[in-house]
Amino acid sequence: MTSFSIHGVGVSSGIAIGHAHLVSNALLEVVHYQLPKHLLEDEVKRFSSAIATVKHDLEQINSSLRKNTPAEISAFIGTHLMMLADKSLSEIPKDIIRNEQCNAEWAIKLQMDDIVEQFEQIEDEYLRERKQDVIQVVERVIKVLLGHPSQLSTEQQSNAQHEERKLILVAHDISPADAIQFKQHQFAAFITDVGGVTSHTAILARSLNIPSIVALQRARDLINDGELIIVDGGLGVVIVSPSKEILAEYKLRQEQWELEQQKLQRIKSTKAVTIDGTNIELFANIEVPEDIVAVKASGATGIGLYRTEFLFMNRREMPDEEEQFAAYKSVAEAMKGATVIIRTLDLGADKQMNPDTIVTCANPALGLRAIRYCLSEPLIFHTQLRALLRASHFGNIKILVPMLSTLSELRQTKLFLERAKASLRKQNIPFNEHIALGGMIEIPAAAINADAFAKELDFLSIGTNDLIQYTLAIDRTDDTVAHLYNPLHPSVLKLILMTIKAGDKLGKSVSVCGEMAGDAKLTKLLIGMGLRQLSMHPSHILSVKQQILHSQINELSANARKVLTHTDIEKIEPLVAKFNLT
């Protein structure tokens, strides 16, 4: 087959060579076609076979669950198995195939639509939402019928992780909820048709430390399942069916890249100190407690951002206080007294609790999210604050509040915190009475008013992903405007500098926990601007540390001042590139 390349936006560096594994939204791919009568019974058998395959897959998953797996997971699989056995899904579609002379995919989709409509009539909200289970079961069956089941084939499963390392996920889009599930796998890379460089899916791609590209437009249509492809995350290029010469060249590049990564391991235990003796704290960002393994392996000195919303995702019921407490406590204890900054719930925008939830807000990034959501849901917020406070007794936990825009939001948050403390005192439950409270500066209004926030907070953390999005009016999940997203925009740099100066003036620590912190090309600029704390995905810590070890503060400060005098991105970018060569 003729080789060709597709260009997108690289969101995680490295080179991967492997076979495409197409991940699809099966329901969108169903088409209707009629069959001659003599083929109808074969179609019925094809349908029955698909039902049997999905049943076998679910039973295998259920039997392989670990002992410590939450009970809800087993119950979830059990529910799907029951639905699969129900005649409304396993038998009625056969009648539809025979009566309407249609394909199996169309028959089960018609039956699903009918069942979902019946669920819609139910008044009880909990029961009404069970329609999502029906949709998920049907999608599994349709994926098998279409020839790309959601689970790996039996042959691939037998080779387990060894085979996964050779697979490259190809999808139209991957939600953050889907991406978080990939942490338990070892895929070589993933690529998507849509997405922005700092969408939460892209952020998770970087946390997986595998080459990833978004905004490829039509990769899902152009690439066949099982086709050999090369993913160059640094250049944002996918090469499909490479020639022998290109394949050989990329294998060499892959070896060189892996060698560079191995060399970085030499500085793992070295402290992040500049040539002239200035210490820089390098913290790690995590999504789930299991990420602690990567944190320890990276040599990070603490956790600068624990995104708690991922504890709430891929489920329909909120985690209760005990479940949250156990998660936060496990992280605090594992870090053995090192700083653990835990961000309160930041649901909204592209991070929804239930992956099936439809966001009806026209501009979700500007809607009810983060602290706005928490203040509007007092019971949920109170439960999380109690769990956080209880966990603070077991380690050095600090609380971080996302998306603050007004002082009134901060003061309401403080009241909630005091109420949670009072409720624990009443029950004689121990916690850190003097737990530090920080705020994320990720809205321009907060950066401009950083002095006022710094007076009422213990520390500030700059969330550059949203700060850039809101400053430049660019939806960071939208691939059509991805090229306009630029962390070196002079307005963005000025807002960062304003925040740093506000912290310095009042003696409050300021860190960056957005994607800028993990970009080694920006390390010298950020330190030159006055930052002494950076928090990033564990996979980026060593490359950032390498920049620090070869830097001198006086030189960096002078270079940063030069950058900040310019108002034109076209002059700023080459200057920053030049400083990185020194």
Out of 80, 200, 489, 540, the active site residue is: 200
Q: Is 38 a catalytic residue?
A: no
In the block, residue with structure tokens 């008013």? 449
In the annotation, is 434 catalytic? no
For the chain, what is the total number of helices (H) and then of strands (E)? 27, 16
Of 21, 374, 513, 540, which is the active-site residue?
Answer: 513
Instruction: Tell which residue, 495, 517, 493, has the closest CA to residue 571.
Output: 493
Residue for token pair 């059990």: 78
- Give residue 376's Cα distance to chain centre: 24
**DSSP character string of 465-530:** HHHHHHHHT--TT-GGGGGG--TT-HHHHHHHHHHHHHHHHHT-EEEE-SGGGG-GGGHHHHHHTT
DSSP state of 345: P
- Which amino acid appears at position 179 of this protein? A
- Which H or E run includes 232? strand 228-232
CB 174 within 8 A of CB 199: no
The H-or-E segment that residue 214 falls in is strand 212-214
Q: Give 364's DSSP letter.
A: G
d(C-alpha 442, C-alpha 463), whole Å = 5
224 secondary structure, DSSP code: P
Q: What is the spatial distance between Cα 145 and Cα 154, in angstroms, rounded to a whole number?
A: 16
d(CA 145, CA 99): 20
Yes or no: say if 187 and 19 are a contact pair by the CB < 8 Å rule.
no
Q: Contact 119/130 with Cβ under 8 angstroms? A: yes
Query: For residue 444, what are its two tokens?
Result: 């321009």
- Residue linked to tokens 């999608």: 139
Which neighbouring-strand residues pair with 231?
16, 238
Strand-pair partners of 427: none
Q: Which residues are catalytic?
A: 200, 513
